[in-house]
Amino acid sequence: MNFQSYAFIFMFLPLTLLVFFFVPKHWRFLPLLLSSIIFYSLLEIKAVFLLWSVIVITFLIAKKVAQGQHRRTWFWLGITLNLAFLALFKYATFALDTLQLLTPLLPAKVDFQLLLPIGLSFYIFNAIAYLSDVYRKEIPASLDFWHFATGMSFFASLLNGPLLRQSSIAAQFKNLHFDANGFSIGAQRFMQGFCKKVLLADALAPLARECFVGTPSSANLVFGSVLYSLQLFFDFSGYSDMAIGIARMFGIYLPENFNQPYSATSLSQFWQRWHMSLSGFLKQYVYIPLGGNRYGEFRTGLNLVLTMTLGGLWHGANWTFICWGVWNGIFLLLERMFQQPFPLPKWLAIPRTLVVILLGRLFFVAPDVQTALTYFTSLFLGNTWQLSQNVLLLATPERMLVACIAILGCLPLQLKPIWIKHSRLVWLPLFWVAIAFVAARTAEPFLYYKF
């Protein structure tokens, strides 16, 4: 079950809302907690124990950190345990494979694969942020386990974020109330995200995949990078819209996660607009603790590259993501060195930023580093500037129209107040069209589920 399934839209969500509405105000967190347990259990029953282990351990250690005695020891114990969960379930196989490649003395490759729970990176980072905020005395440790557990396991944001800081979310679960206007706003936001996912991202997915099949031509790679970037944006921002909308229906405010990233005039601005909750986490809990920009230009550059490398590794246990993180870190460093002395006008700055982003997507979409290097070789040294036959067959007029609409959807268009006021008249029929498309074709999983 996921956000675009009929079971979620027509059964799970309405039933949760119905129970939430009729439960007494001071017990309204309970249907959210139970629904979150059911929701995650239906996805991965084996991973429920891990989720609750993280919640219980983080709650108990945060109380120890707040008490003051040996607080530093308790804090690092909590961070270490959470990172150990992440390392074991997400990176253990990757680490063993890498060691076996680097060390010939190790025995032959062992078939060792642990379950990778959906949403693991998100709720582990939420736990680390909470422990850090308590340690720095920015927020008090939660005294109510059930409210804390509801916030940590909330089904709207559990799998793909946005990443949450308990300082902004915890108090909301103590004072839940139903608001008709908020419900209307949330429902509209959910429909908007659903249409982004189904009508745009999913429609582009088969064509984007085909562009990278076999040994792609230069034309396939350029076309595919653009299409994949559009798919990724509308897939993930669509999920974020749905999560924010669901939460709003219950009177909960989640942070925004995207702000027209493809209109950014610099790479640093792009990362302030793309997956903003992760970018904020990396800045607050990685870049600044490393020293930020406080110790000279060399150290600042090193901190930038390290932070983006860790951000790349967060996306997956693969050298391609590490390369993608290093790619972004290096270009952020170059931008810092040359942008102030040599500023570009906006009409040049936006395409320059997009070129860096689109080239970096070749690392992001490749299954391994060798394939990524093949992509770059074909792109810059290949001489085949013709789309493959299969790509041309899939590039139907309907899909090309969707691609054009997606590109327009990335532009910073200024909507008139009358459009905003009556936008529900647009999203409601589009939502039912999207519902029909869900029944007519194979569902595409959210791309960030694998991260």
Q: Which residues are catalytic?
A: 315
- The maximal CA–CA distance of the chain, rounded, in angstroms, is 70
* 399-403 LR contacts (CB < 8 Å, sep 24+): 399/203, 399/204, 399/207, 402/199, 402/200, 402/203, 402/204, 403/204, 403/227, 403/230
Secondary structure class of 159 (helix, strand, coil): coil
Query: Of 48, 28, 56, which Cα lies nearest the Cα of 142?
Result: 56
Question: Residue 368 in contact with residue 319, Cβ under 8 Å?
Answer: yes
- What is the identity of the amino acid at 438? V
**How far is residue 146's CA from residue 157's CA, in Å, rounded to a whole number?**
17
Question: Residue 197 in contact with residue 235, Cβ under 8 Å?
Answer: yes
In degrees and rounded to multiples of 5, residue 346 shows phi and psi of -60, -40
Measured CA to CA in angstroms, residue 370 lies from 315, 319, 374, 443 at distances of 19, 10, 6, 30
